[in-house]
Structure 1
Amino acid sequence: MTSPATSPRPVSPVDAVADTYVATLARLNPLGATYLGVPGHEREMTDFSPDAAAERAAAARSALLALEGLAPADDVDEVTGAAMRYALGTELDLHAAGENERLLNNLASPSQQVVEIFDLMATDTEQAWDDVAARLAAVPAAVASYVASLRTAAARGDVAAVRQVEAVIGQAREVADPQQSAFTRLVQGDDARRVLGEGHPLRADLDRAATAAREAYADLARVLADELAPHAPQEDAVGRERYALWSRHHVGAALDLDETYAWGLEELARVQAEQTAVAAQVAGPGASVQDAVALLDADPARQLHGTDALQAWMQATSDAAIDALDGTHFDIPAPVRTLECRIAPSHTGVIYYTGPNDDFSRPGRMWWSVPHDVTSFSTWRERTTVYHEGVPGHHLQIAQAVFERATLNSWRRLAAWTSGHGEGWALYAERLMADLGFLDDPGDRLGMLDGQRLRAARVVFDLGMHLGLPAPAEVGGAWTPQSGWEFLRANVNMPESMVRFEYTRYLGWPGQAPSYKVGQRLWEQTRDAAREAATSRGQVFDVRDFHARALALGSVPLDVLRTALAG
């Protein structure tokens, strides 16, 4: 691969198709443009109506048609063509199946996207606040377009499970509440007061727009309660056909779902056994995992109190990892060395990452959404989370791709994302940090295994619940909402409110949660295959070089990754 330090690679016809598609996608999905860091659409909202979804599908179809007959100029083009055909192809399959119109869940549907996009917007200048005001004023139209899609799907009998409808009703009512609303916090926050001052004309515009946006969410809650909830099915499971489609999209490879379920059970048992061994190191011979957890949670040296302390610890831990890894196990470009750790405005319990924009003026950020009832935090649980979201996890992976301007087109750098690749790498990165000695403290290692156990358990839960597969004996032989809940509670070491959110998430977003652990498995298999190939040629396998080549690819479907890194 050409490095950013060398002359830029010439733009090929394949690159031109990819770059044109990103520009079209940004125009048709302004929220996506902001998320990807593509400028020029900050004042706009995405249209979620069926007609707009059809237009986005047509753009994907046109891009695929444009690729036909184009001879790849080099190996970069080979990967671009394969990745676009897979990724855009699965998006078109989801559109044809009506999945876009009925999309409603507690984490990853338009109802959350419209609110969360404001977290990524600049708020440090008067112009930035003018952009915020314009986008905020467009919220009612965006919500109305989303309602139009939900009604279209409902007219043909496609309504999300009642559990998801009720979850989003609760979220929408919170956004509509003047006291709790993220819109209220946005326009009345410190940034607005500092930049605009008390009598600035924009303050009135922002207040009016926030009021209209809250009212739009009140309307959304009423539509969901009055129109969708009465017709929403009680059954959470989506069945094999829909599950297979979503799984191909999230993983970036077609899985043998039954084999994956069996592997998930084996992997869960393996991690549990490893946890037991480490628990004995923490709490003495014969100690249970619960004994070790209680001991660690009682250790004042491993406790943080309040979100200010959490944010400071996240930042210090992230900065230390970057300093330790740069120049030893990775070569981290200067712009990628900056990672901001923030407390999110929401309160779901989710920890997530957002990438830098195209010129790194907006850095990569790690966000922690802290539930209202969580006020203390255990560092032994969360050190591995910082590595997952930061370096060498998501931040190194995503920001490195953005940095590869000399080699990769804008689709590869900014818009390409496959959960199995990205989340699989982040779990792979956790294990890598353990292998490199960063989690030698038994408590920290138990925290890593705690996360690995969660990811293995949800492979079992997600596949078992949605496909109705035979349940393990400890579940009672059958997957039901209650037995599934008890299974998660037994395997997930989180406050109950966070487990409840995760439980609802898995039931409403089929195939996504397993993509983490399945992706890690495929990453490890790809690395091991590359090692075997090098050995067969009489060469010494260089894992640092393997990681550099892998990160330089950007996020690609895992089927494409295996081919690109073969040998």
Structure 2
Amino acid sequence: MTAPTTDNARQRTAVDEIADAHLDAEIAVDPIAATYLGVAGYETELTDYSPSGHQERREVGLRTLRALDDVQPVDDVDRVTIAAMRERLGLAEELYAIQADDHDVNVLASPLQSIRSVYDLMHKDSPDDWATIATRLTRTPEAMAGYVASLREGIARGVTPPRRQVEQCAVQADKHGSADGFFAELASGARAGDTDLPSSVAAELGRAAAVAAHSYTELATFLREELLPVAREADAVGREEYALRSRYFLGATVDLDETYEWGRAELARIEAEMRVVAEQIKPGATPDEAMQALDDDPARQLEGTDGLQAWMQQLSDAAVDAMAGTHFDIPEPVRRLECCIAPTHEGGIYYTGPSEDFSRPGRMWWSVPDDVTTFGTWRETTTVYHEGVPGHHLQVAQTVYRSALLNRWRRLGCWVSGHGEGWALYAERLMADLGFLDDPGDRMGMLDGQRMRAARVVLDIGVHCELAAPAELGGGTWDAAKAWEFFRHKANMAESILRFEVDRYLGWPGQAPSYKVGERLWLDVRDQVRAREGADFDLARFHRRALDLGSVGLDVLHGALLP
């Protein structure tokens, strides 16, 4: 397989038809995904998370796999599509086989969060938009009942999530369902542009929000009273399940023991570089002392979320202007990126892609904990590049834009964490190489983030594969207590964010290492292409060829760029 290198429109093929039919079928049984992808027509519905809903989505994938058995590729684009679909759908079937949907409870990426966060992406410009939101809110009891039915199925089969995740998700559910929680705030703050909603719409929205909030309160009760008593004590999933989840998040198979040792070595390398940069910031200082000096510098601090939002928008716009037409070809619709403060307070920074027609732009979101009111620009400059340009936004929005080249499943429906997060870390390093992080403070922020990502490789594999812990942690086997003791020294963050992060890793095995391991695999592919092409290698051309593949598994990426 070789990567396409042109925008010239292709003739649609039988493979494209299968891929697009699969996307349509997927969306039809997953309305929340439709909203995330910006596909209209499903705004009043919520996804069925019941056992029958999961089985229906499984059958969509199995039908597509059978259809692929009967089709022949006509070009390299088809060959990549077939490889990518077989890899993604095959792994989905493997996850179904271990009953992953029956114990899907974690603090960041389970149905609890999806049912709530879908409203962040819905239109809110007119009374009709809010009426649509109200209708969807009334579907919450049914969606929640389906989710609970799957968790009860897991209980019956003896497949349950860790206690830690159940406890923290119950807290989240209670918070969303409270009188000052997400749904109450959604209704009380609703406006159509600069005007209040008509009283009938406002009343309807208030009633619907109360229904949704009550569903979350009931979920919290179920989690505490029914699921928690049978939840498993262990956070670790074990090597066999971890290897499957690692493949799912990377789209590649890696040697877990070698990767663990590489993570330890990479962490040591980054910490050595941090010591060099600390000396530039404050002679004689340790990295922690240098970072404290940066936090004490008023010129590097922002107060309040309004200041944070304005600053990151300005920096993002400047990055787009600097990259467009020089290092990357950025089409006009892709140049719009909105920076937003998320309506939740759990912690975390994330990106959501544009709708297919770009009427909804790509957005960068900050979920700011209640106790965090001050933000260091030195710490977050690299994050803007990670989430925006040349990171996620460039990668995702460019793929959405390539309608002349890629089918809709390739543009909208395929996302591989190792590819996407690996590219975003690669993008941070690229910005450093291009001189955008030459300021020692900004470079320290990038290195601190890289240190955290390397530490996650060690922590995640160590805990879930139950490896021997380093001597500095007291030896023995990795566990949650050792994970906390280790991680709190490897990331310069508020304690509330650090604790959320550790809970996230313990409950979402394989995802956190996909950032740093994904970057490693991206760099390896680039270096191999450079070695093969020699003097003919052009970095901008490499980036264009790679990004034009869309988000595919990293083994598929390797096969496409190095046939």
Q: TM-score, normalised by structure 2?
A: 0.98
Shift of 1:200: 2.8
Residues 101-145 of structure 1 show CA distances to partners (whole Å, capped at 9, x for unaligned) of: 210000000001000000000000222112111111111110111
Return the alpha-carbon distance in structure 1 between the equivalents of residues 244 and 201 of structure 2: 46
Aligned to 1:466: 464
Contact 2:5 2:545 in 1 (8 A): no
Question: CA offset at residue 484 of structure 1?
Answer: 1.4
Matched residue, 1:564: 560
1:506 paired with 2:502, answer no
Give the aligned partner of residue 443 of structure 1. 441
Contact 2:351-2:392 within 8 A present in 1 as well: yes
**1:228-267 maps to which residues of 2 (within 5 A)?**
228-267=227-266
Q: Which residue of 1 aligns with 2:66?
A: 65
Q: Which ranges in structure 1 are unaligned for 5 or more consecutive residues?
A: none
- RMSD between aligned alpha carbons? 1.1
Match for residue 550 of structure 2?
Answer: 554
Contact 2:5 2:544 in 1 (8 A): no
Q: Contact (CA 8 Å) 1:124, 1:195: kept in 2 or not?
A: no
With 312-321 and 468-477 compared, the bigger mean Cα shift is at: 468-477
1:3/1:184 CA distance change after superposition, 3 Å: farther
Offset, 1:188: 1.4
Show the counterpart of 1:111. Answer: 112
In structure 2, the partner of 1:454 is: 452
Residues 1:14 and 2:11 are matched in the alignment: no
Task: Give the Cα–Cα distance (whole angstroms) in 1 for the partners of residues 514 and 102 of structure 2.
Answer: 23
- Hey, what's the Cα distance between the residues in 2 that align with 1:289 and 1:2? 43
Is the Cα contact below 8 Å between 1:2 and 1:407 reproduced in 2? no
Is contact 1:352–1:368 with CA below 8 Å preserved after alignment?
yes
How far, CA to CA, are the matches of 2:486 and 2:187 in structure 1? 42
Give the partner amino acid of 1:415: G
| Aligned length in residues | 559
Aligned to 2:191: 191
* Counterparts of residues 281-292 of structure 1 (less than 5 Å): 281-284=280-283, 286-292=284-290
Matched residue type, 1:185 = E
Residue 392 of structure 1 aligns to a residue whose secondary structure is coil
1:491 partner SS: coil
Q: Does 1:205 align with 2:204?
A: yes
Match of 2:421 in 1: 423
Q: Tell me whether 1:367 sits opposite 2:365 in the alignment.
A: yes
Counterpart of 1:168 in structure 2 is: 169
User: Quick one: which amino acid aligns to residue 178 of structure 1?
Assistant: A
2:138 is the alignment partner of 1:137? yes
Q: Deviations over 1:349-387 (max 9, x none)?
A: 110000000000000000000000000000000000000
Tell me if structure 1 keeps the 8 A contact 2:416–2:552.
yes
AA matched with 2:226 = E
The Cα shift of 1:520 comes to 0.2
Q: Contact 1:3 / 1:404 at 8 angstroms: preserved in 2? A: no
The Cα of 1:3 is off from its aligned counterpart by 4.0
Note the C-alpha offset of 1:211.
0.7
**Equivalence for 1:409:** 407
| SS of residue in 2 equivalent to 1:71 | coil
Residue 225 in structure 1 maps to residue 224 in structure 2: yes
Structure 2: gaps of 5 or more residues: none
Alignment partner, residue 97 of structure 2: 96
Q: Which of 381, 398, 401 is 1:400 aligned to? A: 398
Residue type at the aligned position of 1:314: M
In the alignment, is the contact (CA less than 8 A) between 1:3 and 1:406 conserved in 2? no
Task: Tell me if structure 1 keeps the 8 A contact 2:140–2:215.
Answer: yes
Q: What is the rounded CA distance, in whole Å, between the counterparts of 1:465 and 1:85 in structure 2?
A: 30
TM-superposed CA distance for 1:480, in Å, is: 2.7
**Aligned partners of 2:175, 2:295: CA distance in 1, in Å?**
32
Alignment map for 1:224-373 (pairs within 5 Å):
224-284=223-283, 286-373=284-371
Amino acid corresponding to residue 377 of structure 1 in structure 2: F
Contact map agreement 2:423 2:519 (CA 8 A) in 1: yes
- Distance apart, 1:196 and its partner CA: 4.9
How far did residue 540 of structure 1 move? 2.2
Pairwise CA distance, 1:97: 1.0
Deviation above 3 Å: which 4+ runs of structure 1? 192-196
Determine the C-alpha separation between the residues in 1 that align with 2:208 and 2:194: 19
Matches of 2:11 and 2:90, distance apart in 1: 27
Tell me, yes or no, if the aligned pair for 1:102 and 1:150 is still in contact at 8 Å.
Answer: yes
Q: Could you give the per-residue CA deviations for residues 204-242 of structure 1, whole angstroms, max 9, x where no partner exists?
A: 111111111111111101111110101112211110111
Give the conservation status (yes or no) of the 8 Å contact 2:453–2:513.
Answer: yes
> What's the CA shift for 1:192?
5.0
CA contact 1:64–1:85 (8 Å) conserved in 2: yes
1:431 corresponds to which letter in structure 2? R
| TM-superposed deviation, 1:194 | 4.1
Between the aligned partners of 2:93 and 2:142, the Cα distance in structure 1 is 25
CA contact (8 A) 2:126 2:192 kept: no
- Mean alpha-carbon deviation: is it higher for 521-530 or for 483-492? 483-492
What is the identity, as a one-letter code, of the residue corresponding to 2:27? A
Pairwise CA distance, 1:28:
0.1
Asked if 2 retains the 8 angstrom alpha-carbon contact of 1:161 and 1:236, the reply is yes
How many percent identity over aligned positions? 57
Greater alpha carbon shift after TM alignment, 126-135 vs 52-61: 126-135
Equivalent in the alignment of 2:480: 481
